[in-house]
Structure 1
Amino acid sequence: MSMAEAHARLTAPDSAFAIERRVIDGVSQRCWVHTPATARQLLIDAAVHDARDFLIFEDERIGVGGFRKAVSALAHHLRDGSVRPGDRVAIAMRNLPEWPVVFFAALSIGAIATAMNAWWQHAELAYALEHCGATHLFADAERLDRLATLPGGVRCYAVRGAMPGATSLTDIIGTTAHWNALPDRPLPAVSLDADDAATIFFTSGTSGKPKGVLASHRAILSNITGAAFAGARASLRDRGTLPVADPDAAQSGALMAVPFFHVTGAFAVLSPALHAGNKLVLTHRWDAGEALRLIERERLNWVIGVPTMMLQLADHPDAATRDLTSLVSLGYGGAAAAPDLVDRLASAVPQAVPGHGWGMTETCGLTLTHSGNDYRRRPTSCGAPVAVARAEVRGEDGRRILPADQVGELWVSGPNVMRGYWNDPAATAAVLQGGWLRTGDLARIDAEGFVHIVDRAKDIVIRGGENVFCIEVENCLYEHPAVQDAALVGRPDRMLGEVPVAVVVLRGGAKANGEQLRAHVAAQLAAFKVPVEVVLSSAPLPRNAAGKLLKRDILAALGQREG
């Protein structure tokens, strides 16, 4: 069955994946008919699952009903405390059960839920809070320690911790053990539209400062139907039939292997799970052995993460002894996947269907995807667009659409694309044109419509799914008094895809070693941005006539040095 035939059958007017045209920011877009219009509506609709488990964290089990009560209690507190539609409510914590409570409480009253990267250090957190103009901040103990003092004008709530001047979230909603006993109150009254602003998630900026990606309710909820569509399309193309749900089957569940502050975590895992009544198992931090134990204990069906995680699961010695027969799907994206990963997963977990996808913070996650036989036949591809999205490869002028298999810049469009960068109209105009997003990835599209990423136009290193903008680390190195010149490059790494390595030229007469320079970066930036190695060079760094660093030459020289 061709891709066009599969899409035509799946998107028929009477189907679960029916499509309608909507004008968004002056552009006609294809949109899912049956996706909840707003996160508020998603939460209300989830009442049908109140008796089911929803969040499991260590020895804590929270049902959908208790979760919704906690969200409502916090929503009323925020509304009574003068939070109004459009206000920014910031969340800075690891994957705790309280994270989605704050997230949905803010969204349900029209506030903009603003997700902070939990890896960030003080300067990064402080900048993002000021940049977005947050009125409220919910932070766990580790993030509060990094902030040291409360930002001016921001009301702070401590989550599983304490800080002078901060309100304890427990005083408002209690501990997770008490959520089910909270009053079952309707959400505060508020009028919301699908295209109202909903979230700000941050992406590294080319200027070295994070950019806030503003997205609508429609954009962030498109993943609910998009993910289900992707599975149905794979089944239809693999077997000619659609999957049939077993009404007597045990509750489905997924391992929450990615952070909530990533769009994959919040939009492609959290929201679809609440919509379907699936359970999510949270972990304090990623550990492959612990993940395998939880998959066995909870009889989990899905793991969604980055390729590194899947490689660690397949290679872990416990994979051969744990009962993993409940797994039906292993999905990953966020970084390049080794072509042999699909075969390695088939060997370790033969019944689980592997899937690979592509998305950006600016696309609110899932845009391109494939799984099953489509993926096995094209292990170097990141998939084809879901039915409401479009993808084109264009020439350098940004207008000429290139033919199949010719490399150019990837442009995408759909209802899931961001509204723009928060308070940055120039950066928005540079990437958004007529409803199309300029991705910065160099790609080719084959004759069947599958996209193959071949390079990046942006100067970034993708370390295990985390984007490291080279200029941010280079600027940090330049602040060290001993550094004259610096370049950050991505060195291939079997486990993480690539890791950041810095090459530095010292000022005349200055003294510093690699570990001192690494410590300098670590004191200011998130751990994933810290170079794994700093190489000192006695020769000037290679540049072209315009003064631009020749990163390929630098990387090649590193390879020769290590060889």
Structure 2
Amino acid sequence: SLRDLWLIGAARGDVPYLIYEDDVITYARAHEMVCSLARWLDAHGVRKGDRVAIGMRNYPEWAIAYWAIQSIGAISVSLNAWWIADELKYALSDSGTSVVIVDGERLERLSDELLREVGVRHAIVVRGAGRHGVTTWDEATADRTATLPDVAIAPDDDATILYTSGTTGFPKGAVGSNRNHITNVWNGLFRAALNAALADPSTPRVGVKRQPKALWTFPFFHIAGVTGVSVAPATGGALVTQYKWDPADAMRLIEKHGVTQISGVPAVIRSMLEHPDYHNHDLSSLATISQGGSPVPPDSIARIQNDFAGKVSPTNGYGLTETSSAVVGNAGKAYFGKKDSVGQPMIGTDIRIVDEQGNDLPTGAIGEVWIQSPMNVRGYWNKAEATEKSFTNGWFHSGDAGYVDEDGFLFVVDRIKDMVIRGGENIYCAEVEAAVFEHESVADCAVFGVPHPALMEEVAEKRPARGLLREVAHVP
């Protein structure tokens, strides 16, 4: 269970676990707070299977709250930190959350009336001003002598609800089990061991003489963020986070703390590699640069290979909320050989490429990617019809278009709904974007379809005037 996993980490004592900016929390101190918060939740009526929501930035308290919830067999509900009041209200109501643990920014969006209306009984505020009836984090974690309540947790017990970023209507809550998340951790460890075994001998080895330290830029409410929180206790690693992404500060943290891995979406990694102060920092501690969440421009792989003289392993992966993170991975020599591929399936994962009727397609043919894995969630919370549409006999319908080559490598070419049909021909936006990315003057791009009187659809891209960068949206 996830409780068992946390206890493995807690036994590491004074080894650093969470590094936020420059504050360091050891496994021992984190465990004190986990036990104290777990007892507080238990004393306030939270039982196995109850839902407790977390909504905040990537603060250390997010991880501590997560482990406290898992340690008593409750279900953590991850709230998107970008959501406004109506979206938060929907998720709290849909999940039947009884307790919320939020930072000051999120608390401002949750009025007392809203919390009462959705049935939330208690609220805890982190790093922010409280109000009448709201418990502060310090109050909830004050008991340093607390121990974990005795709870029996089975592998297939529900552990998490993470909301998908659906293209229509409100998001759906994907229900992950303890087994899903534990399998994700072990797959990650096996993949890392395999990559190390196949790596160039000059590649720095992490975990033998130095502690793995990962700068995690994925938000913790995202499945990739939960992965970072979960993997560290298994490896004895430390998780480094920031208030918000800042490439200059990220390089400072890498240099100061000897960070061995940075993980993020391609745009984040690119902003660091292209920062004007990039060559003024010692980033030699890095052994891995992991990208995911969106297509990785092939030129970034060459950049990593050249800048780090082959001593850093770039990695990529493919997964969804419904698959509890990456079920396909690409790294090391294989990645350099197939830069456009997201890799091969993890242990226990099977991939099918099917047509619109669910029939298997031959090698190299493009169709929908279906996934069968012990990491697949059991379905969507309180949405039987949506679950039935997305899962067939254990196979999850990803909604992504892709193909598998003769070596078993998966190539994801687009979201099926984003595909442009021009005069009867399928055009995959991701492939066009990858080609545009090759131009040295392009920092980022998005390709989409627009109506056309004769062809039905035509490829288009939004292009600002020369030299103009325009902020079209800002989310705090």
Task: Give, as a single letter, the amino acid of the residue that structure 1 aligns with 2:248.
Answer: G
Assess if the C-alpha contact under 8 Å between 1:144 and 1:163 holds in 2: no
SS in 1 for 2:364: coil
Tell me, in whole angstroms, the C-alpha distance in 2 between the residues paired with 1:47 and 1:97: 15
Q: 2:125 aligns with which of 152, 158, 161?
A: 158
Tell me, in whole angstroms, the C-alpha distance in 2 between the residues paired with 1:121 and 1:500: 27
Tell me, in whole angstroms, the C-alpha distance in 1 between the residues paired with 2:203 and 2:278: 30
Tell me, in whole angstroms, the C-alpha distance in 1 between the residues paired with 2:95 and 2:447: 30
Tell me, in whole angstroms, the C-alpha distance in 2 between the residues paired with 1:425 and 1:246: 44
Q: What is residue 351 of structure 2 aligned with on the other side?
A: 391
Task: Give, as a single letter, the amino acid of the residue that structure 1 aligns with 2:126.
Answer: V
Alpha-carbon deviation of 1:257? 1.2
Assess if the C-alpha contact under 8 Å between 2:203 and 2:312 holds in 1: no
Task: Give, as a single letter, the amino acid of the residue that structure 2 aligns with 1:62.
Answer: I
Alpha-carbon deviation of 1:39? 0.9
Alpha-carbon deviation of 1:148? 3.6
Q: What is residue 126 of structure 1 aligned with on the other side?
A: 89
Assess if the C-alpha contact under 8 Å between 2:47 and 2:74 holds in 1: yes
Tell me, in whole angstroms, the C-alpha distance in 1 between the residues paired with 2:334 and 2:5: 31
Higher mean displacement: 224-233 or 189-198? 224-233
Tell me, in whole angstroms, the C-alpha distance in 2 between the residues paired with 1:370 and 1:216: 25
Q: 2:333 aligns with which of 331, 348, 373?
A: 373
**Long gaps (5+) in structure 1:** 1-37, 175-180, 461-491, 504-540
Tell me, in whole angstroms, the C-alpha distance in 1 between the residues paired with 2:234 and 2:443: 33
Question: Is residue 222 of structure 1 aligned with residue 126 of structure 2?
Answer: no
Alpha-carbon deviation of 1:69? 1.2
Tell me, in whole angstroms, the C-alpha distance in 2 between the residues paired with 1:209 and 1:190: 34
SS in 1 for 2:152: coil
Q: What is residue 182 of structure 1 aligned with on the other side?
A: 144
Matching of residues 140-151 of structure 1 within 5 Å: 140-149=103-112, 150-151=114-115
Go from structure 1 to structure 2 and tell me whether the alpha carbon gap of 1:435 and 1:544 turns closer, same or farther (over 3 Å shift).
Answer: farther
Matching of residues 368-517 of structure 1 within 5 Å: 368-398=328-358, 400-459=359-418, 494-495=442-443, 498=446
Assess if the C-alpha contact under 8 Å between 2:8 and 2:233 holds in 1: no
SS in 1 for 2:153: coil
Task: Give, as a single letter, the amino acid of the residue that structure 2 aligns with 1:169.
Answer: W
Root mean square deviation of aligned Cα: 2.9
Q: 2:460 aligns with which of 547, 551, 556?
A: 556
SS in 2 for 1:437: strand
Assess if the C-alpha contact under 8 Å between 2:314 and 2:332 holds in 1: yes
Alpha-carbon deviation of 1:458? 3.4
Q: What is residue 98 of structure 1 aligned with on the other side?
A: 61
Tell me, in whole angstroms, the C-alpha distance in 2 between the residues paired with 1:498 and 1:109: 44
Question: Is residue 112 of structure 1 aligned with residue 114 of structure 2?
Answer: no
Task: Give, as a single letter, the amino acid of the residue that structure 2 aligns with 1:304.
Answer: S
SS in 1 for 2:224: helix
Go from structure 1 to structure 2 and tell me whether the alpha carbon gap of 1:104 and 1:59 turns closer, same or farther (over 3 Å shift).
Answer: same
Deviations 1:3-46, CA, capped at 9 Å, x for gaps:
xxxxxxxxxxxxxxxxxxxxxxxxxxxxxxxxxxx111011122
Q: Once the two structures are aligned, what percentage of the paired residues are identical?
A: 35
Q: What is residue 173 of structure 1 aligned with on the other side?
A: 141
Alpha-carbon deviation of 1:60? 2.0
Assess if the C-alpha contact under 8 Å between 1:57 and 1:97 holds in 2: yes
Q: What is residue 479 of structure 1 aligned with on the other side?
A: none
Q: What is residue 224 of structure 2 aligned with on the other side?
A: 264
Question: Is residue 274 of structure 1 aligned with residue 236 of structure 2?
Answer: no
Task: Give, as a single letter, the amino acid of the residue that structure 1 aligns with 2:353.
Answer: V
Task: Give, as a single letter, the amino acid of the residue that structure 2 aligns with 1:556.
Answer: A
Matched residue pairs, number? 444
Assess if the C-alpha contact under 8 Å between 2:390 and 2:397 holds in 1: yes
Deviations 1:353-406, CA, capped at 9 Å, x for gaps:
1111111011110111111111111111111111121111111111x2111111
Q: What is residue 52 of structure 1 aligned with on the other side?
A: 15
SS in 2 for 1:320: helix
Assess if the C-alpha contact under 8 Å between 1:256 and 1:280 holds in 2: yes
Assess if the C-alpha contact under 8 Å between 2:232 and 2:238 holds in 1: yes
Alpha-carbon deviation of 1:221? 2.0
Assess if the C-alpha contact under 8 Å between 1:236 and 1:242 holds in 2: no
Task: Give, as a single letter, the amino acid of the residue that structure 2 aligns with 1:133.
Answer: G
Go from structure 1 to structure 2 and tell me whether the alpha carbon gap of 1:391 and 1:420 turns closer, same or farther (over 3 Å shift).
Answer: same
**Long gaps (5+) in structure 2:** 420-435, 467-476
Alpha-carbon deviation of 1:270? 1.3
Q: What is residue 85 of structure 1 aligned with on the other side?
A: 48
Assess if the C-alpha contact under 8 Å between 1:75 and 1:109 holds in 2: yes
TM-score (norm 2): 0.87
Q: What is residue 18 of structure 1 aligned with on the other side?
A: none
Go from structure 1 to structure 2 and tell me whether the alpha carbon gap of 1:497 and 1:302 turns closer, same or farther (over 3 Å shift).
Answer: farther
SS in 2 for 1:151: helix
Deviations 1:315-335, CA, capped at 9 Å, x for gaps:
112221111111000011110
Alpha-carbon deviation of 1:457? 1.3
Q: What is residue 274 of structure 2 aligned with on the other side?
A: 315
Tell me, in whole angstroms, the C-alpha distance in 2 between the residues paired with 1:97 and 1:90: 16
